[in-house]
A and B are shown apart, each in its own frame.
Chain A
Amino acid sequence: MNILLYLIPIALSLGLIGLGAFIWSIKSNQYDDLDGAARRILLDDDEKDSET
């Protein structure tokens, strides 16, 4: 059962990383405009990005 002492923290920290990523995505406005995001994939803005 000693293995639990490693496995439990590992499992929990993996979960926390996922939760952290989710919270980051909410905080950086990624859920504010789902319809817009769906349409933006049609836009051709590659040139702009390579310039900057």
Chain B
Amino acid sequence: MNKPLQADGYEGLVTANDNGEQELSLLIGGVHCAGCIQKIESSLKEQPDVQEARLNFSTGKLRIVWNGELSRANDFASKVETLGYQVSPYNPDTEKNTAEHENRFLLMCLGVAGFAMGNIMLFSVGLWSTSTEVMGLATRELMHWISALIAVPAIAFSGRPFFLSAYNALKNGHTNMDVPISLALILACVMSFSEIMRQGEHVYFDSAVMLMFFLLIGRYLDFRARRNARSAATDLLQTLSGFAVVKDGETTRRVLIRDLQAGMNVFVASGEKIPVDGTILQGESAIDAALITGETLPQNVEPGQHVYGGTINLSAPLVISVDKAAEDSILADIVRLMEKAEQGQAKYVRLADKAARLYTPVVHGLAALAFILWWGVWGAVWQDALLISITVLIITCPCALGLAVPVVQILASGLLTRKGILIKSGDTLERLASIDAIIFDKTGTLTLGKPALINKNDRQEDLQLAASLASHSRHPLSQALVEAYTGNLLTLEKVEEISGKGVQAVYNGTRVKLGSRDFCGIVDAPASNASEIWLVRQNQKSVAFYLEDQLRADAKEVLARFQARHIETYLLSGDRRDVVEATARDLSIAQAQFALTPVQKYEELEKLKKQGKKVLMVGDGLNDAPVLSGADISMAPGTAIDMAQNAADVVFMGEKLAPVYTAWKVAKFSQSLVKENFALAILYNMIAVPLAFAGVVTPMIAALAMSGSSLLVIANSFRLKLRV
């Protein structure tokens, strides 16, 4: 039963391409290194009929092209499944696809704008450095016309991101940053044309294109920072989209999990996830319910007992009778809660948007004022007055403002990535910087999430024998024992594992047993809080090994640091009372709650949010997923289940808790940099606007001022690299 069954149903997803070949797109889960790419691609390319197999690392999309039967699709899907990756159909209508499209669109715009800017500058520098007397009027005219020829199509093409967004905003009766930008681009073109007609000295095509280029850079960086964010609930539904093995008498067949009906009998091999809520009909095993309850110790189960979908069957095969269809299971409840949490999350107003709201009316007001003053009060020709008014509009345009946030975001997320902290959306840092309370989950978050031997210093011979026995079992406690022992393992004979109880074997002619208290026949030893494994030999004293889920080494220090900075810490766990209270005491967390269900955890979060607190949730289990989605900001360790990682805004790697503090510190510093950048942009405007108002800004001054302020903002952002 170790080998997954033949997948089916994939042939319906195959499309034919132009060359008459078959094409299939699959979504692959669990890809995290170059090795995975190679393993998947080369195993597919080994098939004689496969023309192309390419895995997109960022999106997890695998594209297979082959010559031959449609039904080969199922072979390919099973092939990848046997390699140990999750396979699900790739739905071409997902948002990922639109993101790919937008990525290309922005890059294309950026490329065209860059080309246009470089080539127009070629002429502009000539125009600025040579007087008309030397150059001659005809040459100047020629250069103006060529600039126009490059600039107008380039703006029409590359300005679309701004025009579209401005149009949409205006249509809905709002205004946004793109409105003054679009207006400046269009008016700069119109005015420059009229200047060419009037045979004027200055045209502003270079300023317009340069403005567009800088803003597109900001737009592209912002897009890259945002694009990894996606709906976590959709991903959970995708995990529900796998197959379950249904038993009809003696025959078995694969059925989509969502099609399971009450009363069906489902076969669950050891090591597999239980697909739905049900009652055990056959088999005794231990299950890992950490996903649902947060409980670390495996629970022994036997026929008649109830199990939840999403828990993992650890030691022996089980047959389960389905109680409820998958859509009524506890997993589905969590999905619904998460969807609610995602919708309920008040739309966060980003700092940049707040700035834009103030900015737009001020800029338009200034430009209008310039026109009225010059035309109406100081009696200039209307063309000249309009020229000045438009220079005000161009020069105030937010090059620096457009770069202020995205540059800091990209630098900060790059920096954090190198420290093993992955940021998933652009405004994460901004939200992280504003928190004043943190909720921690216990198992797997404050602790490492797996049992470790605590009495390691016992006699090494005992440990060696125990580890040798344990190596024959897949039970988590056994695996922890094997991990704790570093030397060579002994050779044993007649090894036998009694599922959920222990292992017995013959060593040097004597019987040895390793396992639970009952299994080893221990009656008089005192009970202990930790999990225990007993080793029993003939004629020797029995030995107990104690295992406990241990705190991350730096958990206390990290919590103390947060507490010293007046950030409240909470511990919400689904685990037992004594364990949770002991942890809270160790870490001096005053507010700790135990034995919470996922729904209760979510209610606790709601309470905190009602008090007006900005909450960071750090958690790793499925029982934390709704809280992760609903919290203002959330983090999950890299060992968390996929679900929690997808629900969280930040994922951190490694065995330490320090990344939580590092991320918060970087976020704080980034926020102060962003504010400095805004201050710089405002300072620049305070100098540039009076100049434009006075009518002394030539295209050269505009170009210098714009690129100068942009460079200043970028340089300031790079201080992040020096400081952290």
Contact = CB atoms under 8 A, between A and B. Distances in A.
Interface of A: 1, 4, 8, 11-12, 15-16, 18-19, 22-23, 26, 31-36, 39-40, 42-45, 48
B215 to A, nearest CB: 19
Contact of A48 (B45, B100, B104): B45
Interface in B81-102: 100
Contacts of B111: 19, 22-23, 26
11 contacts: A1-B136, A8-B146, A11-B119, A11-B122, A15-B115, A16-B115, A22-B115, A31-B107, A33-B56, A33-B57, A45-B42
A35 B227 CA distance: 13
Contact of B56 (A11, A26, A32, A48): A32
A45 to B, nearest CB: 8
A22 B115 CA distance: 10
Given A18-B115, A36-B56, A23 B108 contact: yes
A16 B118 CA distance: 11
How many B residues are at the interface, by size bracket?
20 to 34
A44 B38 CA distance: 9
Interface of B: 33-34, 37-38, 42, 45, 55-59, 100, 103-104, 107-108, 111-112, 115, 118-119, 122, 135-136, 139, 142, 146, 150
A33 B55 CA distance: 9
B55 A36 contact: yes
B638 to A, nearest CB: 16
Given A11-B119, A32-B103, A39 B108 contact: no
B37 A39 contact: yes
B33 A39 contact: yes
A4 B55 CA distance: 50
CB-CB nearest 9 A-B residue pairs: A36-B57, A39-B34, A19-B115, A42-B34, A22-B111, A33-B56, A15-B119, A35-B58, A43-B38
- Which of B37, B112, B135, B146 gathers the greatest number of chain A CB atoms within 10 Å? B37
A11 B119 CA distance: 8
Contact of A40 (B37, B119, B136): B37
B33 to A, nearest CB: 7
Contacts of A33: 56-59
Given A1-B139, A19-B115, A23-B108, A43 B58 contact: no
Given A26-B104, A26-B107, A36-B57, A15 B118 contact: yes
A36 to B, nearest CB: 3
A40 B33 CA distance: 9
